[in-house]
Structure 1
Amino acid sequence: MPRLILFNKPHGVLCQFTDRGTAGSKRPTLSDFIDIPGVYPAGRLDLDSEGLLLLTDDGRLQARIAEPKYKMAKTYLVQVEGDVSADSLDRLRKGVQLKDGMTRPAHAERVEDPQLWPRDPPVRYRKSVPDCWLKLSIREGKNRQVRRMTAAVGHPTLRLVRWSIGDWSIEGLGLGEWREISVP
């Protein structure tokens, strides 16, 4: 039976088990949190993003989760700069033109502040610039896609938390915590 690990990745943690960066650098990696041999990330989550990262020991399951051709929904809670208008939400829902092509339509809605754990380092706060939260679901995986989509509609991303992939979510997991679940 394949193993599947749900991990709530903190900001600043590399999505690999070793840091292959510059000599002398010691950035936090998955090995600082998870000590299970033979599991590997199914997809990636940027260094400056937080939230759900799935790890498995099964290549087919890894492909089903990570490969865009399977169109598994990935849902993000996104804190953006500015007060998002209905027009900006409509543009996200229809798809946004990026340098590498048009995105697929996304499910996009404005949500109340989700009251997440504090981020380290904190998101910059500016009195003169409002911010708000969006819930954004996509079914593709272009590089830094959510950040580029919100920027394309005039609302740069301040904080990005992946909440779920398909039916799996970080509900009930504290920052840096993980749990293993059974896969049918």
Structure 2
Amino acid sequence: MSEELDFIIESTEENMQNAIRHLEKQLLNIRAGKASPAMLGSVMVDYYGSMTPLNQVANVNTPDARTISIQPFERGTIPNIEKGILVANLGFNPMNNGESVIISVPPLTEERRKDLAKQAKAEAEEAKIGIRNDRKSANNEIKKLEISEDLAKIGEETIQELTDKYVRKVDSIFDNKEKEIMTV
């Protein structure tokens, strides 16, 4: 095959891998019933006048499936951590014992589980759209190349195989997330 065609195929596959990585990152933000430090990934804390990610001012861990424990590096930041969690609007009610902040993660209702599954499905669809757009631009680039029709056809078939492979990957990731969300 021609170098240009190989380059188009490689860069398209890289873009599709990025779509998968983005999907996985987005799905981490959708809680699945059990407590996880990733649930607080979006929390920003006022730390000496600048907004700082929570994980840079405290250790965040999960002692059990229903509790998130936040151990600040400095005790004086506890009120700011609580405020940051409330401002992030995650639906959590932080409590402090003077040394750390504790969040009890309430079990999900059936209705909330369905909403979260819908949200995960929407993220999966976004990833598929991104993958299909990558296919479209790759095919357009192949058409612009000055190569034989046979080579162009092989290139387009290769791009289609990549597209099918990554769409199946998105479906698999979504199915796993949906199972995780719907498991009580």
Question: Could you tell me the TM-score, scaled by structure 2's length?
Answer: 0.22
Question: Could you tell me the TM-score, scaled by structure 1's length?
Answer: 0.22
Q: Which structure would you say has the larger RCO, counting Cα contacts within 8 Å and 6 or more residues apart?
A: 1
More helix by share: 2
Look at both structures and tell me which one has the larger radius of gyration over its CA atoms.
2
